[in-house]
Chains A and B, each alone.
Chain A
Amino acid sequence: MSAVAQAPQAPPAAADRPQLQVVPLKGLPIVALVLLGVVVAIARDARWGLVFCHVVGGGLWTAIDLFVGFVVGPIIGRMSIPARIEFSTRFMPKMLLLMPTIVTMTLAAGFQLARQDGFLDTSNPKHAWVVASFCVVGVMAVIALAYLEPANVAVLFELKKPQPDGRVIEKLMKRFVYTAGITGVMQVATLIIMTKLVS
């Protein structure tokens, strides 16, 4: 490839990139507030609070995974390295706070709802669906926690360097895009299971 063709792939200089904060500190009070709300809903056995946390959290989780996995992911995959860097600098820190909070909120509230509704009881006819949902969450947790989130954090640290390595960013973003696609597919299974449980 010629030098002219390679030029657009080079990461932009530090001064040309937007300022990056790995963890957006302004978002932490909101995270604390959400998690506190979940604890209060569990402690009070508040049915509406638990349903709210589970439905809102689950809706966001599913929608974000599907959107990132099938819409944003393929778009990122076709972007030039400088464009990926600019997008990642603004996108990744938000995901770092958003996803763990939404997932914790959904799972904690969902487990309590399953208990309240008797779905955890092995004699319940819908118990198998709950166990299936545990399995789907288990697969997503392994992919997200072992591959997706570490890649997300690592790419942010790479972007903070004065001269980011384009190959490192490309490799980590590829991992992010593929794992986001897999969790997107798993979310389709979640939709089937959840609609079976409430029907």
Chain B
Amino acid sequence: MRKALLAAIVLVAGLSAMLLAPTSSADPPPGRVPHPAISVDTTTRSIDSPEVMRRTHMDMLKHQRDRTVHLGERRVKVTLNGCIDCHAGKGAGAAAGSVTGSAQAFCESCHRYAAVKLDCFECHQSRPASTPAPVSARPAAGGKP
């Protein structure tokens, strides 16, 4: 009797684990709610695991920006240019080119979803150093003193 009860518990636990197993993050759950379309360059390694980066990237950047601007610390682990070079770089797939400006862009895809204002790029360049600016973003020629 006890053995049968144990077997039943194991069976129920196994079934529920199968049912509750998370679906692949590549397929967003169906529904009317839009989900971020994150395209990650897997050929390069980020500075920490995706879980840590999702939660703390803003703290990392804010901490380091003050140390870089005021103390002059350069060539450090956390740099905004470092983020952009990979996440909008050649290997970033649909997100390549810029981290803002489209629903596929690496930063903007999540920030749109979470409705968090993204004002880094009012001053900072959102394209990797090697990527040329789209023609519309270039300032008018001339104006030489």
Co-complex (A, B): no
Q: Which residues of B contact A (CB under 8 A)?
A: none
A interface residues (Cβ-Cβ under 8 A, vs B): none
